[in-house]
Every structure is written in C-alpha cells, then in structure tokens.
Homo-oligomer: A and B are copies of this chain.
C-alpha cells in the first residue's frame, strides 16, 4: 500500500469514501467467478459523485495506479477482481434513481442502483425495466452495463445494451463524456454508448445511465416439454423461434433435470434428454395461440410430455425447475458456471458435445440456459479439494470453449470475458480484431490503468 496514494486520495475524498481496512479490502478482492486470479488491492474508494470519481481517476493517472471498478461483485468472470496494489473503485454509494420519466419511457440512474430497485421503481409508474439477469435482485445497473448482462427475457426484449439510451462515463484521464441521450433513435456520431456497454470497466467508469422503460407485457402463458433426444429438443427450439415470439425459451439437459429432481422432487422425467420451458406474453387469445403453436412444434419434434398453462401462478410453478437449476447443481459440489453461445441451429450439437466432454473428462456437467438465444450455461460440478477433479474440470472447461469456437460460437454470451476467459479471447477474435481492440483501448486509456488484465 502506497502512503503517497492514500494521501493523495484522502485529499480528494471525504473520510467515508476511502477505506484501507484490510478486512474490507479482502471482501473487495474478487467477484463470484471461481477460478479467476485476484490480487490484493491497495485501497478501496467509495465515491459518492461523478466529481469524486473524476478526482480518483486523476490521482490514479498521476501516480500510474490501476483502477478496478466494481458494483455488487456478483460478476461471474472475474471482471471485478483486484490486481495487486490497485484502487478498487466501488460504485455502490452512487445508488440513486435520479429520474423516472413515465411519458418519456426512461429512467436516469446512478451505477450503484440495483437492477431490482429500478424494476420496482418502474413498476410504481406502471412500467417495466426489461433486462433480467439471474442476479437481478442483487446486481447493479453499473455491473449490468459493464457486462452487457442478459437474462431470460432477452429472447424477446433484448440484452442490457438494448435498454441503454445514454451513458455518462469518466475516462482514464478524469474527463467526463456523455454518450447517446434521451431519444430512442440517434445516429449523431459513433455509437459510443454501445462501445462502453460490455467493455468491463476497461474504457471508462460509468457514472450515470439513461435507460429505456417499456409498458408491462401481458400475463404469460407457460409451457413445459420433455424430449427423449437432444436433437428433438434442438429442433423444437429452432421451430419455435422461426414461427413464434416466445418471451422465455429455456432448456435444461438431463444432468440438470436430475440434479433438480434430487434437490426438490417435482416429478420431472429424469429419463428425458432435455426439458424445454417456454413462455408467450403475446397476451389473451394470441398468447394461447402462440402457446398452441409451441406445443405443436414440441410434439412434431418428438416431445414425450407437454404441459402448459395460461394461469400465471401455475406458469410460475412450471418455471420452478429452471429457477432451481443452478442451486441444485451447486448443492452437488463446487461449481463453475460457464456461459457460451452458439448459432441457434446448433443448440443440440452443443449439448451433445458437452455431454461427450463430461463423459471423457469424468466431470459432472449440467447444461441449462437461454436456448432461444443459443446462449447456454454448462455448469461444471467438482470436488474443490480433489486436485485431480479440479484438473479434469479445468480441462473440460477448456474443451467446451474450443468446441464452441469450432461451432462458430462465442466464449461468452452474457457474463463477459473478465479474467476467466481472457486466454481464449484471441482465438475467437483473430489477430485483426484483436489489434483493433488494442487500438481502441490505447486511444481511450493510453496508460492502460483501467481494469488491466481483464478482457484484453
């Protein structure tokens, strides 16, 4: 810990904005990613305003100290992990909803606002903030923006980036830039908003976001179907996507179904290869009609069991299995929740490939996720105290990423690259794209102080 750094930061921050207590620092070393390395931060700052963020970044630039921004620390890629001696910049004190504009269908929030708090505030105005990562109750908007977080609703309503109209960000030199604005459409200049969304704190620190709100969709109709083969489940996914507009389209493989059933017996068919869960919020008769078309698609694809309900409470019950997927797998050992994407037509292939990897490497892997977006979460379960098991899990993790790249997929659909997948980014992007990434990074952060060692 540099005395000089602390002194400089103390000169620009009030006492409550500067923390050096080792126990608190320890609690701010990493996010929820299992395997990503984390260093020991030099100091934690908790700015309460954009001006304080600017002051911190100016000190960091002057003293050449890396800055790792973080929200709730619920990330799954080590994107918020500290590097040795860095300044951890927590945005959690900047947690005010500055504005909800019902007529303008937008909200202006600080980055530390919880996704769930924004949803609740929007609901008070009869509106809806769509993005719904699984972490919505405890993750922050700033973190959601940094990772371009996804969720269940993306299949119909898009990812976090689709809800961001504009941003305020502090750049590495302490200057403040505003991107986008309060309009839905805007082509004046480059799309800097989208450049910051998903940039994982490597280009600037987001200090304010203007977000799009929507009317609440009608109550949903819910469907569950089980399939004797992965190919059948994959065919149902592509047919549903080609002929309807599901508001949810999730899939769980046999391993996940069995984990759920053993965690909480719901009467799921543990012999089926996959369980599909779909929703339509088209509303009223049309919702039922869409659901009927989905049922037909499932039956045509060989589903052995299909159930559906237009009742919202019943629908929630049908979704319980999906919501228990990760908790159920977590109960069986240490987990690494992976996050990969493939072209929609290759979902079944992905699941089959993961099954094969699981078998070959002798690792339990339950796969579930957002089938309608081709975005799945193979979840590796292992005994963290068995070095051999950990080694096999790591090998399986690498295998999955390689298979996904071979299938023209992506190493991350919604969790981000962070520290966890940084070694694989070059293989996906190729040398020309990587060079372009570095050129942009250098243009915005020439000293390389913003979240070094993450993503790039």
Binary contact readout A314-329 vs B (1 if CB under 8 angstroms, 0 otherwise): 0000000000000000
Q: Which residues of B contact A282 (CB under 8 A)?
A: 282-283, 286
Give bound CA distance, A344 to B421, whole Å. Answer: 40
A300 within 8 Å of B by Cβ?
Answer: no
A433 near B186: Cβ-Cβ < 8 Å = no
Q: How far is the CB of A413 from chain B (nearest CB, A)?
A: 4
Count this chain's copies in the assembly: 2
- Is there contact, CB below 8 Å, between B417 and A187? yes
Bound together, the chains give a CA A442 to CA B177 distance in angstroms of 18
| Contact A410–B183 (Cβ < 8 Å) | yes
Partner of A215, one of B158, B195, B243: B243
Q: How far is the CA of A189 from the CA of B410 in the complex (A)?
A: 10
> What CA separation (Å) do A184 and B345 show in the bound complex?
11
Q: Provide the bound-state CA to CA distance between A374 and B212, in Å.
A: 13
Query: Once the chains bind, are A436 and B177 in contact (CB under 8 Å)?
Result: yes
A41 at interface by CB-CB < 8 Å: no
Contacts of A197 in B (CB 8 A): 191
Report A's interface with B, CB cutoff 8 A: 101-106, 126-127, 147-148, 150, 154, 158-159, 161-162, 171, 175-179, 181-192, 194-195, 197-199, 203, 214-215, 217-218, 238, 241-245, 282-287, 289, 341-346, 370, 373-375, 408-417, 421, 425, 428-430, 432-433, 435-437, 439-440, 442-444, 455-456
Which 7 A/B pairs are nearest by Cβ-Cβ distance?
A: A286-B286, A285-B285, A194-B194, A103-B345, A183-B341, A185-B413, A104-B345
A-B contact pairs, 15 of them (CB 8 A): A102-B242, A147-B187, A178-B430, A178-B432, A182-B409, A183-B408, A184-B375, A185-B410, A186-B341, A186-B413, A188-B417, A188-B428, A190-B195, A285-B286, A286-B287
